[in-house]
Structure 1
Amino acid sequence: MEFYKKIFASKYDSFMTNLESTFHPIRKALISNLEGTILEVGSGTGTNFEYYNAKAKVIALEPSSFMLDKSKAKLPKKAQITTCNMGIADERLNSMIKNNSLDYIICTLVLCTIPDQNLALDKFKKWLKPTGKLIILEHIHAKNKPSRLLYNIVNPLWKIMGNGCNINRDTDLSIKKAGFIVESEHYFKKSISFYQAIFTVAPLK
């Protein structure tokens, strides 16, 4: 399994090339103007790193040491990014991140892989400031019944090939059920269904 994780990390960027042509302007719009203390969950190979500006102080979590090694080559000089080899369930985070301390949490193509999504969302609510925001770009479950059935059938194999990625999660609905409030959202399709959104933890005034 470790061998496959290494191969997966080495091929990930080339596999994502076509999709990233679509994601590039989205990532830039979501991330480039952010300032303050930011947690990026599942930073992968560091695809988002180029978008952070000099006023962003970023803690980048990545449980795969192979992905993390690739990301370090992309660390820009302009941004303050600290990489950490740990997942969202790691107990060390309880002492690293104080409640109500984060301005933003960034999740891009990662909530599909987190084993306990609800646990992660609960932590996000605790860690974000009352003015904080959760920013996501994720693929989600299909909306029509035939496609949902297909996604469910494909998911077991998809999860193995995708290193823990689940294609059939209603991540958009899960975040809303967890109590986050939509500030903006957009659904789109690029082979599979995608969702980008900005959420707040308290009603906007």
Structure 2
Amino acid sequence: MNTEVNHPRFARMYPKLAAWAEEHGAQEHRAESLAPATGRVLEIGAGHGLNFPHYPDTVTEVVALEPEETLRELAREAAPKARVPVTVSDGVAERLPAGDASYDTVVCSLVLCSVRDLPTALAEIRRVLRPGGRLCFYEHIRSRSRGFAAYQCAVDLVWPHISGGCRVSRRTDRAIPGAGFTMKHVRHFRFPPGRNPAPTAPFMIGLAVPE
């Protein structure tokens, strides 16, 4: 499998775009999604490290994977500021550089929309989780409204090419239980709120465990 991820223009632009979202509620979303994390954590697609300040004291160690070189270097700069030990490494979701049953928690924040092979990525997450482990997720998803979902599918003809492979119409909320996880908690919401929602507006935050 080709593990190279190279989106230099998007990587330079993303921190500026993300800063607006953080100021308007995304920080609270990250804290909410990470609250159940415990023990040894594997974070997939860490970006430039926006999750790092929000890990709770129940976490003993974070291994943060980021395959995009520009974002990975920014994450390494952010890691020393975290409240818990964070190591940043290269790696893709479809081939996690980890042994079987080696993590207590896997974290996915705004990344499952852009992995190349979602079923394989979720199978890898199941593989590396220890018995009783948990998947903490914060993701945008396809709308449950047929009209808005059709709009998202149309947007996806262009969106992945300008947004680092992100797909706004991906049914991640169905893919997680379809991959052998039980949803223990999930909250659906729209972000940012408004009369003219962005194509990424349907979101979910939750916790899932392997069956």
Q: TM-score, normalised by structure 2?
A: 0.86
CA distance in 1, matches of 2:127, 2:173: 19
Shift of 1:101: 1.9
Question: What does 1:26-41 align with in structure 2 at a 5 Å threshold?
Answer: 26-32=29-35, 34-41=37-44
Structure 1: gaps of 5 or more residues: none
- Highest RCO, 1 vs 2 (Cα 8 Å, sep ≥ 6): 2
Q: Does 1:176 align with 2:177?
A: yes
Distance in structure 2 (CA, Å) of the matches to 1:84 and 1:65: 10
Deviation (angstroms), 1:7: 2.8
Give structure 1 regions of 4+ aligned residues with deviation exceeding 6 angstroms. Answer: none
| 1:61 corresponds to 2:70 | no
Partner of 1:139: 140
Q: 2:76 is matched with which residue?
A: 72
Q: Residue 11 of structure 2: which of 4, 9, 12 is its match?
A: 9
For residues 152-163 of structure 1, the aligned pairs below 5 Å read: 152-163=153-164
TM-score using structure 1 length: 0.88
Give, in whole Å, the separation in 2 of the partners of 1:186 and 1:65.
32
Cα RMSD, aligned residues only: 1.9
Query: How much does 1:63 deviate?
Result: 0.7
Q: CA deviation at 1:70?
A: 1.3
Q: Against the structure 1 CA distance between its residues 174 and 70, is the aligned structure 2 distance closer, same or farther, given a 3 Å change threshold?
A: same
* Range 192-201 or range 8-17, more displaced: 8-17
Q: How many residues align?
A: 196
Query: Percent identity of the aligned residues?
Result: 26
Kept in 1, the 8 Å contact 2:64–2:87? The answer is yes
Distance 2:41 2:93 in 1: 14
Moved more, 29-38 or 134-143: 29-38
Q: Which amino acid aligns with 2:183?
A: V
Whether contact under 8 Å (2:142, 2:170) holds in the other structure is: yes
Name 2:210's counterpart in structure 1.
Answer: 201
Tell me the CA shift for residue 32 of structure 1: 4.8
Shift of 1:89: 2.8
- Compared CA separation, residues 53 and 142, structure 1 to 2 (3 A): closer
Cα distance change, pair 77–120 in 1 and its aligned pair in 2 (3 A): closer
